[in-house]
C-alpha cells in the first residue's frame, strides 16, 4: 500500500507515502478514499506532506475525487501541501476551487464546520 491511513473520530486521514503523485497512484487513492464512503466515518483529509510533485492527470483526478465527495454530502479536504504541488495546481487553475488547508488541524476545523452546515441545511430542508 502506498498510503498511511489514520482513522479519527470524524474523518479518515490518508497520507500518500510517495514523493510523486502519479495518475496510477491517484487511481489507487480514489479507490481507498471512495471506500471510506461505505463506512461510518465518511469524511476524508488528504495529507500531502510527503508529496513534492504530481502529474497533471493526478491533479485532475484529485479535483474529481473532491467533487465526488461533496456530491455524496461528505467532506474531502487536502492539507500540508508542498509549495511545488501548490504551484502546479495554481498553473492548472485548480488551486482556488479545491478545499486546501495549511495544517491537518485546520482541515479538521473545515470538516467540523461542513458537518454543522450539512446538519443545518438538513434541518432547513425538513422545514420546507
Q: Residues 22, 54: contact at Cβ < 8 Å?
A: yes
Q: With 0.85 as the threshold, say if the pTM is over it.
A: yes
Residue ranges per structural domain of the chain: 3-127
pLDDT one-digit tens code per residue, 66-95: 999 999 999 999 999 999 999 999 999 999
**Architecture of the structural domain at 3-127:** 2-Layer Sandwich (3.30)
User: What does the alpha-carbon distance between residue 20 and residue 35 come to, in Å, rounded to a whole number?
Assistant: 23
Residue tagged 502546479 (cell numbers): 88
Local confidence band at 2 (pLDDT 50, 70, 90 cut-offs):
confident
Amino acid at each position: 500500500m502506498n498510503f498511511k491511513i489514520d482513522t479519527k473520530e470524524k474523518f479518515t486521514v490518508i497520507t500518500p507515502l510517495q514523493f510523486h503523485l502519479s495518475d496510477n497512484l491517484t487511481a489507487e487513492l480514489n479507490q481507498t478514499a471512495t471506500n471510506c464512503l461505505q463506512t461510518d466515518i465518511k469524511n476524508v483529509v488528504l495529507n500531502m506532506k510527503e508529496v513534492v510533485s504530481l502529474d497533471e492527470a493526478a491533479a485532475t483526478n484529485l479535483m474529481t475525487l473532491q467533487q465526488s465527495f461533496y456530491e455524496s454530502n461528505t467532506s474531502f479536504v487536502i492539507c500540508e501541501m508542498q509549495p511545488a504541488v501548490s504551484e502546479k495546481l495554481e498553473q492548472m487553475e485548480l488551486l482556488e476551487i479545491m478545499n486546501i488547508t495549511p495544517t491537518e488541524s485546520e482541515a479538521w476545523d473545515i470538516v467540523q464546520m461542513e458537518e454543522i452546515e450539512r446538519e443545518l441545511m438538513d434541518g432547513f430542508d425538513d422545514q420546507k
